Amino acid sequence: MAAEVRPRLTVLSGPSGVGKSTVVAHMRKVHPDVWLSVSATTRKPRPGEKHGVQYFFVTDEEFDKLVANGELLEWAEFAGNRYGTPRRAVLDRIEAGEPVLLEIDLQGARQVKESMPESQLVFLAPPSWEELVRRLTGRGTESPEVIQRRLAVAKVELAAEPEFDTTLVNTSVEDVARELLALMAVV
Ligand code: ADP
Ligand code: 5GP
């Protein structure tokens, strides 16, 4: 008899601009049933982003309340904005035995590993530093100042790769999405 594969919490991290959102969007196109946690953030929406879809866009005061009420599984400040994972929705999915995916930054990944050691941490790496700069600049959604800030953070994040259980290099979106689904035991 085949051993039961227990779905668990998977955390996807990697430097800004490496392609996390693109990979996750592709994965969900292929497997719409895969559940991705929607984070709360104090960042302003980018063009096309919708409240409740990419993020719950909240004010600083609302974020303070989420923290004070213990409603976040983890949270972090990233390049001038705060981001956090609503706790209840994640725990409900895990209790229901469904695989859960979080797309969060390095500080958040560390907090999750600390509070839920059975989770698996997946690092999405760029093919090269030059390609990361190209992607972050090419996305065209941030000012030059914000890009510089994110690149400085990216240097620190790249150095943390050994803390992760698995590294996937984002050369092909399709390949990485497939590998991620396999790690999540969805396929
Ligand atoms: P992140 O969510 O990690 O910040 P995005 O998903 O927004 O990154 O991707 C940043 C840019 O890189 C986007 O313009 C996206 O189209 C592009 N991109 C993502 N993956 C690849 C890839 N494998 N090859 C080439 N370009 C990519
Ligand atoms: P962006 O502003 O580009 O959407 O996200 C910036 C960074 O915040 C990315 O590295 C993304 O993974 C991270 N992030 C998004 N949601 C969360 C969250 O809930 N918690 C943490 N710690 N980081 C998050």
**What CATH number does the domain containing 113 carry?**
3.40.50.300
- Is residue 3 situated within a structural domain? no
- Is residue 2 situated within a structural domain? no
Q: For residue 20, give the ligand 2 atom closest to its CA.
A: 12
Nearest CA to ligand 2 atom 11: 104
- Is residue 97 situated within a structural domain? yes
108 lines ligand 2 (CB under 6 A): yes
Q: Which of 171, 73, 172, 71 is nearest to 114 (CA)?
A: 73
Q: For residue 24, give the ligand 1 atom closest to its CA.
A: 6
CB 161 within 8 A of CB 167: yes
Q: pTM for this one?
A: 0.93
CB 136 within 8 A of CB 147: yes
> What is the domain count for the chain?
1
The boundaries of the domain holding residue 151 are 9-183
pLDDT digits over 56-99, tens only? 999 999 999 999 999 999 999 998 999 999 999 999 999 998 99
- Is residue 1 situated within a structural domain? no
CB 15 within 8 A of CB 67: no
CB 124 within 8 A of CB 168: yes
- Matching residue, tokens 């992760």: 164
